[in-house]
Structure 1
Amino acid sequence: MPSTLNELTDPFCLRAGESADLLGGHPWRRFVVLGDSVAEGMCEPVTGYSELQWADRIAAELRAAAPALAYLNLGRRGLRAHEVRASQLDDALRFAPDLALVVCGGNDAFRTSFVPAEVDVEVAAMITPLRQAGADVLTVGMFDVSHSPAVPPAVRPGLGERMRLLSTHTRALAARLGCLHVHLTDHPAVADPTLYSADGRHGSARSDAIAAAETVRRLGAHLAGH
């Protein structure tokens, strides 16, 4: 990437005033996040990009349009899907959200024993009660971290296959359960090494900025009836 690229010039990031146009007058007042390290926020700093984590960015954009927005992030690193459900769902429901972000399964997909149907069961068990409680639910097909330069070449094909399988299953589950889905797996920048951290498992501040932009755009499309 050119050394002059930053959040203001990055073609994939939010433009000035874009979020206000998309989210102005939005109805959400209680936003909860459930998930693993992607939800908690572990992006690696990149010069020229905000260090605000992805979920925190979404909350900030929502709050800019609705300053009284209440926000609870339950995300914790290292959790598999069944652990997210067991440790976070009850607290999320007690929060009485009208918007929820559920992002997990990545730690399951890092294992060669990954079974997508088992993750589907756990994610559905979180989405269903949140939807029944009246919340709009966001799900995400995340960037394919197998493109990270830190991932050993021998591991990349299998990891990439599993990450894409997770994304495909999550997208189908979201459609079936009436969720708002953000699909990042086929994003034009997915193979750009600047999107990934040095640990080979997480994203960079640039990936969080792009993910936030795409999430805001998905919310805006929903508000516009698309």
Structure 2
Amino acid sequence: MTSTTSTTSSPTPPPPTEESDPYCLPRDRAAALLAGAPWRRFAVIGDSLSAGTGDPRPGYAAGGWADRVADVLRRIHPDLAYLNIAETGATTARTLEAQTGRLAAFRPDLVHVPCGANDLFRRDPDYALIERTMRRVYDAAAATGAQLTVFTLGWAFRVPAFADWDERIRTVNALTRNLARAYGAVLVDMWDHPVNDRPDLVSADGIHFARRARR
């Protein structure tokens, strides 16, 4: 008589949702952390990364990170005014030319500024020019009297067409960190964030973080 050994495979864990995701802050808790925040006029300028473009994910609410921030701030100040004029493909120069005038007219007290991502899609980026243009954007945003925010690019943001892509990211991230210090901007440093390790972090376009990354 031949004996057989049966093996039982472990059940596949369910995919994460907003409720189970350790990197996803519940709205009520976010509102509690921001209780007393003074901001009533929130503006976002820049490119698609500023706007929070990305593929949807099951189990996660729709909307980019900026819309989520506005939603939380409205729990504190229901009369919050929100302006998001970030454009897909906008370079820093485009942001300066086409968005800063509308930003000034809006009179914000909280502004998210871009981090130069689209300036890197040139054969030979001119980092001195990028820094000068970014500084002019920061000047225009700071002239409103608003608190500035910005984030660096994560290492999961990759463009294989450029062999020196990591070096490009590190260089523009260094510019962003220096400007954040100079202008007192709140810096969200995404370069080493553990969310970069997620296999499904990036959208189908290979560039933008998916909704599951929107924290």
Q: TM-score, normalised by structure 1?
A: 0.83
Aligned length: 204
**2:62 matched residue in structure 1:** 51
Counterpart-to-counterpart distance in 2, 1:88 and 1:16: 29
Shift in alpha-carbon separation, 1:20–1:165, aligned structure 2, 3 A = same
Larger Rg: 2
Residue number in structure 1 paired with 2:136: 125
Distance in 2 (CA, whole Å) between partners of 1:157 and 1:193 is 22
TM-score, length of structure 2 as denominator length: 0.87
Structure 2: where are the runs of 5+ without partners? Answer: 1-11
Q: For 1:71-98, what per-residue CA distance to the aligned partner results, in whole angstroms no more than 9, with x for missing partners?
A: 0001010111101110000100010011
Determine if contact 2:157/2:208 at 8 Å carries over to the other structure: no
Distance (whole Å) between structure 2 residues aligned to residue 137 and residue 73 of structure 1 = 14
Aligned to 1:144: 155
Matching of residues 182-221 of structure 1 within 5 Å: 182-208=188-214, 210=215
User: Relative CO higher for 1 or 2, CA cutoff 8 Å, sep ≥ 6?
Assistant: 1
**What is the aligned counterpart of 2:108 among 90, 94, 97?**
97
Q: Which residue identity lines up with residue 162 of structure 1 in the other structure? A: R
SS state at 1:107 partner: helix
Deviation at 1:116, TM superposition (A): 2.7
Equivalences for residues 6-155 of structure 1 within 5 A = 6-15=17-26, 17-146=28-157, 152=160, 155=161
Aligned to 1:216: none
Q: Normalized per residue, which structure has more helix?
A: 1
RMSD: 2.0
Once residues 156 and 48 of structure 1 are traced to their aligned partners in structure 2, the CA distance between those partners, rounded to angstroms, is 34
What letter corresponds to residue 136 of structure 1 in structure 2?
Answer: Q
Q: Is the 8 A contact 1:81 1:105 kept in 2?
A: yes
Equivalent pair of 2:91/2:116 in contact (CA under 8 Å): yes
Q: CA deviation at 1:108?
A: 1.2
CA shift at 1:162, angstroms? Answer: 1.1
Rounded to whole Å, the distance in 1 between the matches of 2:188 and 2:154 is: 11
Q: Secondary structure in 2 aligned to 1:195? A: coil
Q: Structure 1: state its 5+ residue gaps.
A: 211-226
